[in-house]
Structure 1
């Protein structure tokens, strides 16, 4: 399984990309993100004043940006950067294929990875509880405020589901930015639905504050994951259990397939044209 530290580090790159892809180039945070992306190897050895000077901002602005990325402060971010720089296997957390095999035998590496994905997918039909999924889909259909929470690929899958639902006449929210997700968590009510998507449970590395707000709101909480445990540390109303990947890293394929199946199921249950066929 991936180490939590690796996942959190990947989270940093993911959030930097979000800033650079979505923010206005005149935005202060955009300039900080751009500097960090182009000079990442230097960050672990820079004092906050040095980074502030390089970005032409104040140390306080750097501190706010660090918190926006999900870190407690600059020292916390810097510590993660130092861990990443010292990890010679930093790129090996993508899939469970030895880099040496991919270098010398790409065809064999491809076959090995495909077999891992197949094994995960074959377990999916027995893992999914469609009685639970139908209850979740009814919540999505009936509730006005439905918000997805997640990061990295889980967030991308949530946005894929969000797009399908919009095509079917249902508007939901799935912000890429963690700060926007936090704002949503703060504004949830008992009539809202929060859908937390986290294949391996690593979302909690940066989401503890969100969970506190969700618990306080008393909204309905849905968890989509391959994990057996409730890692959210708050009560959940529904759990959609994905197949547990034997290799530890192909769960994203089970997640994407599940949300696509859920989209189709939603269509069969709530599309006027399909309802009339019953």
Structure 2
């Protein structure tokens, strides 16, 4: 369900205010609790668009149609524990003793990070870094926090003179997957393995392309339901709610490792500049 809010935020943060989809996303964000009881014609009238435009927007969000989106909105309203899964901290503790809740959560994060040295397989990571260095066509995939980690990694790689693609919204990720060649490298960031939910088509296009696939996750390697060539395990399934900290730490370690292995020395950079003249 959180994916819907994430995708709405992406539209609002990246689309032009003149874009029809921006106006639909804006209305939904400000009137979310009304959507589950609205007919498609009512929503279309409220956004000054046609029902067909609403249907296309729903598909852009990853839903089959308006009825599918509406059903998920209904289930969200019916879930009285919708915020209980944010972190493993009792709500009563957070409400009454936030300092104690902070201590409990920090201990969970520290436990996950302390397990990381024994969890990370640097032989696999070095193979992936070699692929990143040697491959021209690289695309990073993820949703929510995992996508943020992917963009963080993309930025680090660019600073190290390695270009890659990492789109925020699902539609552009899908189009990217459609264009992948067998020589490409796709890296999927998914702490809990949930990327497969709502991104089935993207994964199928990656499979059909024949590109090399890498998965960075706390989940099992088969959670994507497509063949995965390399899996970088960052924790255990039970670490799902603290796994995002392990993911960010792993990404930063991978960036530093790439720097030590492949980034040219100052002398090499100066020689490259001389040769370009």
**Normalized against structure 1, the TM-score is what?**
0.94
Whole-angstrom distance in 2 between the partners of 1:248 and 1:226 = 7
SS of 2:89's partner is: coil
Aligned counterpart in structure 2 of residue 118 of structure 1, from 93, 110, 115: 110
Q: CA RMSD in A?
A: 1.3
Query: Is the CA contact (8 Å cut-off) linking 2:215 and 2:221 kept in structure 1?
Result: no
Unmatched segments (≥5 aa) in structure 2: 269-277
Preserved CA contact (<8 Å) 1:190 1:217: yes
Q: Render the CA deviation track for 1:113-164: whole Å, top value 9, x for unaligned.
A: 0010011111111111101101111111111110011100000000000000
Following superposition, which runs of at least 4 residues in structure 1 exceed 6 angstroms of deviation? none
Q: Secondary structure of 2:203's partner? A: helix
Matching of residue 232 in structure 1 with residue 193 in structure 2? no
SS in 2 for 1:182: helix
- For 2:267 and 2:213, locate their aligned partners in 1 and report how far apart those are by CA, in whole Å: 27
What are the equivalent positions in structure 2 for 1:91-240 lying under 5 Å apart? 91-240=83-232
In 2, Cα distance between equivalents of 1:263 and 1:274: 18
Q: Which runs of 5+ in 1 are unaligned?
A: 1-8
User: 2:43 and 2:166 mapped to 1: Cα distance?
Assistant: 32
Residue 19 of structure 1 and its aligned partner are, at CA, apart by 0.6
Residue 247 to residue 198, structure 1, CA distance change in 2 (3 Å): closer
Distance (whole Å) between structure 1 residues aligned to residue 180 and residue 239 of structure 2: 36
Q: Does structure 1 residue 244 correspond to structure 2 residue 239?
A: no
Q: How much has 1:87 moved relative to structure 2?
A: 1.2
Separation in structure 2 between the aligned mates of residue 109 and residue 275 of structure 1, nearest angstrom: 51
**1:37 aligned residue:** 29
Q: Which protein is bigger by CA-based radius of gyration?
A: 2
Distance 1:117 1:274, change over 3 A: farther
Question: In the alignment, which residue of structure 1 is the partner of 2:18?
Answer: 26
Indicate conservation of the 8 Å contact 1:120/1:245, yes or no: no
* Structure of higher RCO (CA pairs closer than 8 Å, 6+ residues apart): 1
Q: Distance in 1 between matches of 2:223 and 2:239?
A: 20
CA change 1:102–1:258 in 2 (3 A) is same
SS state of the match for residue 213, structure 2?
strand
Give the distance between the partners of 1:123 and 1:245, measured in 2 at CA: 13
After TM superposition, give the deviation of residue 229 of structure 1 in Å.
3.9
Point out the more displaced range, 129-138 or 239-248: 239-248
| C-alpha separation in 2, matches of 1:131 and 1:161 | 19
Task: Between 265-274 and 174-183, report the one with greater CA deviation.
Answer: 265-274
Question: Helix, strand or coil: the match of 1:272?
Answer: coil
What SS does the aligned partner of 2:191 have?
A: coil
Aligned residues: 268
Looking at structure 2, the residues matched to 248 and 156 of structure 1 have their Cα atoms a distance apart, in angstroms, of 16
